[in-house]
Amino acid sequence: MPRLGSKIDKSEEFFGEINMSRRTFPDLLATSPCLLGEGAVIERLRRNPELELDPYLVNAAFIYQAAPRAALEAICRQYLEIGRDFALPLLISTPTWRASRERIAAAGYDGVDVNGDNVRFLDALRHSYGGYATQVSICGLMSCRGNAYSPGEALAVEAAQRYHAWQAGQLAAAGVDVLLAATLPAMSEATGLALALAATGTPYLLSFVVRPQGTLLDGTPLKEAIAAIDAAVTPRPLAYLINCTHASFARAALTHAGNASPLARQRVVGLLANTAALSPEELDDSTHLIEEDPASFGATVAALHHDLGLKLLGGCCGTDDRHIRALAARLATAG
């Protein structure tokens, strides 16, 4: 993989100043009937035989080399064009899922503004879509320190706050519309992340991986996790999401008689869904991609808008542009 000894292309086309003339994400979320989320990015890049994900940064340094950047841009543009074609507001994530200070240094990019450069990269893509750019929000993507499917690796609250504060600050300073801590398996690290994100003053979302029984992977009931974080952190999250979870699992979790609640259903506003109805443990051990028919995916995910009021809907593992296009077609007529 390229390191700092390689040529880093930082042309103005990809790293221009952030254009601030846009609707805020809280406004889009409050006033839009539906918002479209992107589909899988990392997984699609991983399946490209011409690319190699960095063992530390995954795809966060792709913007610094021409061929990986082109592959990343092509995927992002697919999702931007689907949102534009169906006139849906879009939330698109920076490729910074693994861009903590610790990982940046380990990858040999210490001193490079990896988080900020990824924000500027996406902003340049966004503003290439003219008037539609005002409907596109960029979220600064973060996650837990360890394996997102292993709650036993989760940091304690105070350690998580310290660990994640630097990256949260970098993304907020770069001008993201909203911060998103996603694929969270455990209550402790989610709370610490919330404290770190809240300290930036930027609106933020937390997104859990959930089981059909209505719990996080560490066993915390969804209703208790949301109530506890809302009470412990000021400002509280703008809202919560579920991600890396099949639509049927999310539906079961949100309607569970004991572990969900009306408050949980009010505060969880979206789902970034997997195509495979598999547990995290099964997904972690899977050696091949399990896909769902795009039309079926679009129908089952969009039904959560009608049935449970979820309004930010997109894809995660197993999805590509076909799944997001099928979902967008449903959402565009949902009203």
Report yes or no: 267 and 235 within 8 Å, Cβ to Cβ: no
pLDDT at position 13:
46
pLDDT at position 277:
85
How does pLDDT run across 178-210, given as a tens digit for each residue? 999 999 999 999 999 999 999 999 999 999 999
Distance, CA of 208 to CA of 190 (rounded, Å): 8
Within 8 A by CB and 6+ apart from 266, the residues are none
pLDDT at position 212:
97
pLDDT at position 286:
56
Please calculate the CA angle 2-100-13 and round it to the nearest 5 degrees. 55
pLDDT at position 23:
85
Query: Tokens at residue 257, please?
Result: 């008689």
pLDDT at position 246:
96
More confident residue, 29 or 21: 29
The pTM of the full predicted model, rounded to 2 decimals, is: 0.93
Question: What is the pLDDT averaged over residues 317-323?
Answer: 96
Q: 11 falls in which pLDDT band (50, 70, 90)? A: very low
Q: 7 falls in which pLDDT band (50, 70, 90)? A: very low
How does pLDDT run across 137-188, given as a tens digit for each residue? 999 999 999 999 999 999 999 999 999 999 999 999 999 999 999 999 999 9
pLDDT at position 137:
98
Distance, CA of 209 to CA of 184 (rounded, Å): 6
Distance, CA of 228 to CA of 182 (rounded, Å): 18
Please calculate the CA angle 37-41-42 and round it to the nearest 5 degrees. 140
How does pLDDT run across 218-276, given as a tens digit for each residue? 999 999 999 999 999 999 999 999 999 999 999 999 999 999 999 999 999 999 999 98
Per-residue b or e along 138-149, where b marks 16 or more CB atoms closer than 10 Å to that residue's CB: bbbbbbbbeebb
Q: 335 falls in which pLDDT band (50, 70, 90)? A: low
pLDDT at position 282:
78
pLDDT at position 285:
55
Query: Tokens at residue 231, please?
Result: 């009470």
User: Quick one: 274 exposed, middle or buried, by C-beta within 10 A (0-12, 13-18, 19+)?
Assistant: buried
Report yes or no: 36 and 313 within 8 Å, Cβ to Cβ: yes
How does pLDDT run across 73-112, given as a tens digit for each residue? 999 999 999 999 999 999 999 999 999 999 999 999 999 9
pLDDT at position 14:
47
pLDDT above 90 coverage of the chain, percent = 87
Beta bridge partners of 142: 181
pLDDT at position 5:
37
